[in-house]
């Protein structure tokens, strides 16, 4: 029984959803996203997964970005915020997510 | 910033050469920003480099993500594919060059073939016979009139075959990214 394989498939399938949910809460930058995800092992992912994924979401115009040359001592940060297209995509994902949870609950025979 | 960190960023920049300059600069700037954040939290340079991983792998992740977005063809994408297989080890050294080169060659032949057919046909109309352009299948030689439809048909077949080879290349790159992700996941699971 290899539960890790299955867990990594779940991670791969839901990371995009999780990142969009995070960015929807408020504009945020890469390091903050990675640190937040780190708190939840089931969706924790490394830089070489998150940054290319963010770039793809940008290309598909689900998110937008602005550089902020921030105050003293802090590095410049690239902030991501969600676009209208991203919001639509996110709500479509939320519908499917509820659908999945509902299905699983039913299958569990609750 | 320390020398090893600068060297790390330079390596990333080199590996990302096939991307548009503006995009490459932006990627490097963002990774640099991440490094500064980590430094601000007291993470040592060695730990930062360990965390970000092999610069080759990081660059490959960016290239792979931009290649696998669609199976469409463009010159920019071709250079990304070539860069990816130069970073991708054994499969990249043999299989990907063969499939991607077959893809491009077949697609180009698919375009050239009907052009030759049109030239032959146009030549025939104005009274020039062009013996260099002809279609011979076994003992059958096409006449100036049948060359045109035949060349279009053959061109279309070649183009489709080329497109299939190209899609195969992209699919293989996608599966290589997936297996790499799996490896990464396993590694991080072991670290925990």
Q: What percent of chain B has pLDDT over 90?
A: 35
Nearest CA in chain A to B23: A55
Q: Residue B70 has what pLDDT?
A: 63
More confident residue, A17 or B88: A17
Q: Residue B88 has what pLDDT?
A: 76
Output the pTM of the full model.
Answer: 0.69
Q: Which of A23-27, A68-72, B39-43, B79-83 ranks highest by mean pLDDT?
A: A23-27
pLDDT grade for B86, boundaries at 50, 70 and 90: confident
Q: Does B82 share its domain with B173?
A: yes
Cα(B17)–Cα(B55) distance, integer angstroms: 13
Nearest CA in chain A to B55: A48
pLDDT grade for B192, boundaries at 50, 70 and 90: very low
Mean pLDDT throughout B3-25? 90
Q: Does B44 share its domain with B102?
A: no
Cα(B68)–Cα(A70) distance, integer angstroms: 34
Indicate whether B68 belongs to any domain: no
pLDDT at B191 over 60: no
Indicate whether B64 belongs to any domain: no
Q: Does B117 share its domain with B181?
A: yes
**Which domain covers residue B114, as residue numbers?**
73-191
Indicate whether B58 belongs to any domain: no
Chain B hits for A11, Cβ within 8 Å:
185
Q: Does B99 share its domain with B23?
A: no
Q: Does B83 share its domain with B178?
A: yes
Q: Report A:39-78 residues touching B (Cβ under 8 A).
A: 41, 44, 46-49, 51-53, 55-56, 59-60, 67, 73-78
Burial of B37-69, coded b for 16+ CB within 10 Å and e otherwise, reads bbbeeeeebeebbeebeebbebbbbbbbbbbbe
Q: Residue B121 has what pLDDT?
A: 87
Give domain A3-107's CATH number out of 2.60.40.420, 1.10.10.10, 3.30.420.40, 2.102.10.10: 1.10.10.10
The backbone region for A79, taken as left when phi is positive above 0, alpha when psi lies in -120 to 50, beta otherwise, is: beta
Mean pLDDT throughout B44-54? 92
pLDDT at B189 over 50: no
Of B34, B57, B189, the CB nearest to A31: B34
Is A12's CB within 8 Å of B61's CB?
A: no
For chain B, the domain total comes to 2
pLDDT at B67 over 80: no
Q: Residue B187 has what pLDDT?
A: 47
Residue pLDDT, tens place only, A30-86? 999 999 999 999 999 999 899 999 999 999 999 999 999 877 777 899 999 999 999
Is A52's CB within 8 Å of B65's CB?
A: yes
Q: Does B170 share its domain with B136?
A: yes
User: 3-class SS at A62?
Assistant: coil
Q: Does B141 share its domain with B185?
A: yes
ipTM, two decimals, is 0.87
Q: Does B49 share its domain with B133?
A: no
Q: Residue B47 has what pLDDT?
A: 93
Q: Residue B163 has what pLDDT?
A: 92
Residue pLDDT, tens place only, B137-159? 878 888 777 888 889 999 999 99
A75, A77, A79, A80: which to substitute to probe chain B, counting the most B Cβ within 10 Å?
A75
Neighbouring CB atoms inside 10 A of A30's CB total 21
**Strand A63-68 to A77-82 pairing:** antiparallel
Indicate whether B112 belongs to any domain: yes
Cα(B144)–Cα(B125) distance, integer angstroms: 9
Ordered strands of the A28-29 beta sheet: A28-29, A77-82, A63-68
Q: Does B41 share its domain with B98?
A: no
pLDDT at B110 over 70: yes
Q: Does B48 share its domain with B92?
A: no
Q: Does B49 share its domain with B116?
A: no
Q: Does B81 share its domain with B119?
A: yes
Does A11 reach chain B within 8 Å, measured CB to CB? Answer: yes
User: In this structure, what is the dihedral angle of CA atoms B45, B51, B55, B56, given to the nearest 10 degrees?
Assistant: 150
**The dihedral sign for the CA sequence B150, B156, B160, B163:** positive
Nearest CA in chain A to B68: A56
């Amino acid at each position: 029984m290899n539960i890790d394989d299955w867990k990594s498939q779940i991670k791969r399938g839901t990371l995009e959803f999780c990142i969009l949910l995070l960015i929807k809460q408020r504009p945020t930058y890469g390091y903050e996203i990675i640190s937040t995800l780190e708190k939840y092992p089931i969706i924790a992912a490394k830089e070489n997964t998150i940054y290319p994924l963010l770039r793809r979401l940008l290309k598909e115009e689900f998110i937008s970005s602005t550089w902020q040359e921030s105050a003293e001592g802090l590095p410049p940060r690239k902030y991501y915020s969600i676009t209208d297209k991203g919001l639509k995509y996110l709500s479509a994902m939320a519908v499917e997510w509820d659908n999945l949870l509902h299905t699983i609950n039913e299958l569990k025979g609750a | 910033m320390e020398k090893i960190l600068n060297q790390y960023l330079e390596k990333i920049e080199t590996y990302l050469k096939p991307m548009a300059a503006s995009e490459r600069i932006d990627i490097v700037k963002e990774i640099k920003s991440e490094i500064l954040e980590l430094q601000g939290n007291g993470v040592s340079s060695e730990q930062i480099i360990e965390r970000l991983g092999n610069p080759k792998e990081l660059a490959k992740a960016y290239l792979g993500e931009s290649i696998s977005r669609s199976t469409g063809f463009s010159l920019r994408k071709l250079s990304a594919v070539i860069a990816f297989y130069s970073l991708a080890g054994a499969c990249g050294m043999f299989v990907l060059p063969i499939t991607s080169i077959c893809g491009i060659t077949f697609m180009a032949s698919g375009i050239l073939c009907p052009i030759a057919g049109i030239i032959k046909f146009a030549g025939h109309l104005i009274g020039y016979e062009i013996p260099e352009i002809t279609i011979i299948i076994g003992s059958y030689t096409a006449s100036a009139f049948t060359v045109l439809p035949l060349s279009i048909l053959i061109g279309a077949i070649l183009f489709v075959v080329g497109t299939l080879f190209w899609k195969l290349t992209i699919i293989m790159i996608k599966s290589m990214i997936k297996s790499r992700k799996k490896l990464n996941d396993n590694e991080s699971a072991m670290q925990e």
